[in-house]
Amino acid sequence: MRWKEQVLVLQPYQPGKSKEEVKKQYGLDEIIKLASNENPFGCSEKVVSAIQDFSGSYALYPDGYTTDLRFELAELLKVEANQLIFGNGSDEIIQIIARALLRPGYNTVMASPTFPQYKHNAVIEGAEVREVPLIEGEHDLEGMLAAIDDKTNVVWVCSPNNPTGTYISNHKLLSFLERVPEETLIVLDEAYFEYVVADDYYDAVELIETYKNLIVLRTFSKIYGLASFRVGYGISNSDIIRSLEPVREPFNTNTLAQLAAKTAIQDQEYVKKCRELNRKGLEQFYSFCNEVGLSYSLSQGNFILIDFEVDSNEVFQYLMERGFIVRSGKALGFPTSIRVTVGSEEQNNGVIEVMKEFLQSRVTLTK
Ligand SMILES: *Cc1c(COP(=O)(O)O)cnc(C)c1O
């Protein structure tokens, strides 16, 4: 068969070990998963009720225009309904953008390390990938501008960035947006938007009015606690949305997912509560790191990257054998760090205890 060459060199997505697998392997009763930045408190009770009370038909295709969710969201964001595009997770919006704009002979610019799906999809489309290293965990926006040329079709900006948790200030973002050529689509991935508390953060939806080459991506997978339903969305001007729409599959968000997301929007109190609890959780990790002298980056997301200054797989393994699944930094471009999702207060205390034990065991070993 005549496969695209680049497809044969790509690795399929490696899912982490399941809770059940780890339980069995290490004889544990309970496993706490702090690996995928899911909401430790689940979703709003209102969503649970709405799904239980669903009385529609499973035999009918979903609403291909995502009408109810679209209007609910347009109202929340104060945009027009035709300024939104929905995906089976924002992962799918990333794929749609790549399909619509990337191809051989053109390039795309992104930070490194950042969310891996930008590169993955760009490679599939055969575009040249230009990666600009982070500087102290932050996007090097000047470096990214320098990498952009007249063949750059998409530039990806992730703020707060996964896996560092760092954000871009309003001032820095504006200065960047001003200088990106108008033929280049700027994708601003704000998967953790609802967790941000920084004073000098920007209002991305407002920026869409000024910058006609900007699309903002958000998701119901993180603070809304609906990762299993797979709903993400893009916000842009109606021209960009119209150009992307033909690339979208007609029924890409399913009926229950649309209902779940629409109901979740109606409970902004829940979002606020989760944002506040997440801040308290981050503080637990900051105190721990300060106490034991580990370096970390300040996070505006619901996760923290902690540098243990040893092979990250060792820390990962130690924690897993004691019931905590985190992400080893090795595959994320930080070979001595681990990325931990902020859990409930109790979960955070639990994983911090085991981290302390790990540090103790190292001290004993090297004595
Ligand atoms: C989790 C995440 C996504 C993907 O979210 P889905 O909507 O679940 O596909 C996109 N971008 C970043 C930076 C993420 O961390």
User: Tell me: the pLDDT tens digits for 222-257?
Assistant: 999 999 999 999 999 999 999 999 999 999 999 999
| Residue of 162, 217, 303 with the most ligand 1 atoms within 8 Å of its CB, for mutation | 162
Tell me, what's the pLDDT at 13? 84
> Residue 11: is its pLDDT beyond 90?
no
Say if residue 134 is exposed, middle or buried (CB neighbours under 10 Å; 0-12, 13-18, 19+): buried
Ligand 1 atom at shortest distance from the alpha carbon of 161 = 13
d(CA 280, CA 295): 19
pLDDT band at 360 (very low <50, low <70, confident <90, very high): very high
Taking the CA of residue 92 as reference, the ligand 1 atom at the shortest distance is 9
Task: Please name the amino acid found at residue 272.
Answer: K
pLDDT 10s digits, 161-174: 999 999 999 999 99
CA distance 60 to 281: 43
Q: Does residue 35 line the site of ligand 1, with CB under 6 A? A: no
What's the CA-to-centroid distance between 119 and ligand 1, angstroms? 14
User: Cα dihedral sign for 89, 91, 95, 96?
Assistant: positive
Q: Minimal CA–CA distance to 270: which of 39, 40, 43?
A: 43
Q: Which atom of ligand 1 is nearest to the CA of 232?
A: 7
Residue pLDDT, tens place only, 335-357: 999 999 999 999 999 999 999 99
Residue 65: CB atoms within 10 Å? 11
Region of 9 (left: φ > 0; alpha: ψ -120 to 50; beta: rest) is alpha
Distances from the Cα of 184 to the Cα of 111, 120, 310, 322, angstroms: 16, 19, 40, 47
Check pocket membership of 72 for ligand 1, CB cut-off 6 A. Answer: no
Mean pLDDT on 75-97 = 98
The whole-angstrom separation of Cα 72 and Cα 90 is 18
Residue 232 CA to ligand 1 center (angstroms) comes to 8
Q: How far is the CA of 36 from the centre of ligand 1 (A)?
A: 10
Query: 44 CA distance to ligand 1 centroid (A)?
Result: 19
Q: What is the reported pTM?
A: 0.96
Q: Residue 315 pLDDT > 70, yes or no?
A: yes
Whether 234 contacts 217, CB under 8 Å = yes
Cα 29 to middle of ligand 1, angstroms: 30
Q: Please count the helices (runs of H) and the strands (runs of E) in the chain.
A: 14, 13
- If one counts every other C-beta atom within 10 angstroms of the C-beta of residue 203, the result is 8
What is the spatial distance between Cα 54 and Cα 12, in angstroms, rounded to a whole number?
35
